[in-house]
Amino acid sequence: MDRKYLEVIKARAKTSRVYKKYQSTGLALAEILEDRSHKAIYMRLAKNHDEQQLMNLAKVIADKKGVRNKGAYFMRLVQTLPKYAKKENNKKKNKKRKPKKKQRTLF
């Protein structure tokens, strides 16, 4: 029974757990640029930048010949892109803070 359980755990670890669109975009960028080890960075970029621009840039870089490190070249070109303006609904609302309680002193 222990071996079967370990096999199930290993099989489950191989499946993808993608819940948001930017996560799937980040994984796609990592595949296009052949840089799976930095997939978290690509997910963060997909969250903060326009996903369509990133995908187009990655495809252009993947098609270029003579690029030794596609991931590094991509990161260099991403620095020139403007950040994607997120919707205002995602911003934290200004909540009124409760006043702090005064500390009691013994005397």
Q: Does a structural domain hold residue 100? A: no
- Whether residue 45 lies inside any domain: the answer is yes
- Report pLDDT digits (tens) over 75-105: 999 988 877 655 444 455 566 777 777 777 7
User: Which sign does the torsion angle of CA 83, 25, 39, 66 carry?
Assistant: negative
pLDDT of residue 29: 96
Contact indicator for 29, 61 with CB cutoff of 8 Å: no
The verdict on residue 38 lying in a domain is: yes
By the 10 Å C-beta count (0-12 exposed, 13-18 middle, 19+ buried), 26 is classed as buried
The contacts of residue 107 (CB under 8 Å, 6+ apart) are none
On whether residue 1 sits in a domain, the answer given is no
Residue 106 forms part of a structural domain: no
Find tokens 């994984």 and name the residue.
27
Whether residue 68 is contained in a domain is answered as: yes
Q: What is the mean pLDDT of each run of 10 residues along the chain (107 residues)?
A: 83 81 94 93 93 94 93 92 58 66 76
Residue-number span of the structural domain to which 49 is assigned: 21-83
Global pTM reads: 0.65
> How many domains is the chain partitioned into structurally?
1
CA dist 50 → 5, 36, 41 (Å):
42, 21, 15
In a domain, 65, yes or no: yes
Query: For residue 26, is it within any domain?
Result: yes
User: What's the pLDDT at 89?
Assistant: 44
